[in-house]
Structure 1
Amino acid sequence: MRTVKTLPPLLQRHWPLACLGAALCLSLLWSALAPLGGGSHELLLDVRPGAPSALRLTLGVQDVLLLRNRTGAPLVFGPVQLAPGAEFRLPFEEAGEQDFPCPALPGGTLRVSVVPMPDPGWERLRWRSGKLGDAIRNLPLKGPEQGPE
């Protein structure tokens, strides 16, 4: 007679929760170890009312600031003047913080923080969670009466 091994009673009862916990652990492991990159190195900033006045770039991942003038009037950004609808690409090669005068943004300046590429592990997991927080924080607010842009 052959015996069949079964799961422990606790896992039999809570297998959906155990599967969810395993999936969460695997996703955290992937986030900490998977390489960064892919796609464009540009971070787009549409200058218009409500645009953020601080940005974070990462060397080797997103290290080019693409500035687009959506104000309908000429825009001054540091020593550069952009016509309405014009674009300006500003690459960064060193980590640090820089302030650029831009009267169209709240406070009249744009603070650009450039951070080095994070190492695999906790640092990369922290970086990915910070990028997710930035993306959520900078979502444009649209009412139900507004259509797509």
Structure 2
Amino acid sequence: MTLPPALRRHWPLAALAGALLLALLWGALAPLRGASHEVPVEIGPGAAGPSTVRLTLGVQDVLLVRNRTGAPLVFGPVQLAPGAEFRLPVEEAGEQAIPCPALAGGVLRVRVVAAPDPGIGRLRWRLANAGHALRTLPLRGPEE
């Protein structure tokens, strides 16, 4: 069996297209899972923390708030001692505004989305999470 001349000439491009297609299929159909269901939010001195957090039911559905300020912290109806942690599990999709005076604006918005079904929705969810992870990488200067 011989390959057509066009495919013989452009086999690297065809292999790259095939690999891209396989990666897209995996992203759309592979089950969602993560190492932890917790999304950590650290509130420390000088670093006010994020103003919005996105959670996904069944994948990352526990908000973990850590107080690194060295002083008591009010988070909604809970007061956290210095160094304390608070876990807030969520069970339904929606958006909540939780008062927290230590954050910029005094509110932490928690957006909870449903786990996406297999297909284009799951692929969009994976791409959105990758983009969010890149946008929220911590900035670090050169070590001296």
TM-score (norm 1): 0.89
1:27 aligns with 2:27: no
Task: Give the equivalent residue in structure 1 for 2:54.
Answer: 56
Offset at residue 24 of structure 1 (A): 0.7
State the one-letter code of the partner of 2:66.
R
Task: State how many pairs are aligned.
Answer: 142
Where structure 1 has 5 or more consecutive residues not aligned to the other structure, the ranges are none
1:76 aligns with 2:74: yes
Contact 1:52 1:138 (8 Å CA) reproduced:
no
From 117, 120, 136, the equivalent of 2:118 is: 120
Deviations 1:9-43 (A, max 9, x none): 22222211211111111010000001112422111
Alignment RMSD (CA, Å) = 1.4
Offset at residue 73 of structure 1 (A): 2.1
The runs of at least 4 aligned residues of structure 1 exceeding 3 Å deviation read none
Offset at residue 47 of structure 1 (A): 1.5
Where structure 2 has 5 or more consecutive residues not aligned to the other structure, the ranges are none
How far apart are the structure 2 equivalents of 1:24 and 1:50?
39
Offset at residue 50 of structure 1 (A): 4.8
Task: Give the equivalent residue in structure 2 for 1:141.
Answer: 139
Larger Cα-atom Rg: 1
TM-score (norm 2): 0.92
Offset at residue 115 of structure 1 (A): 0.7
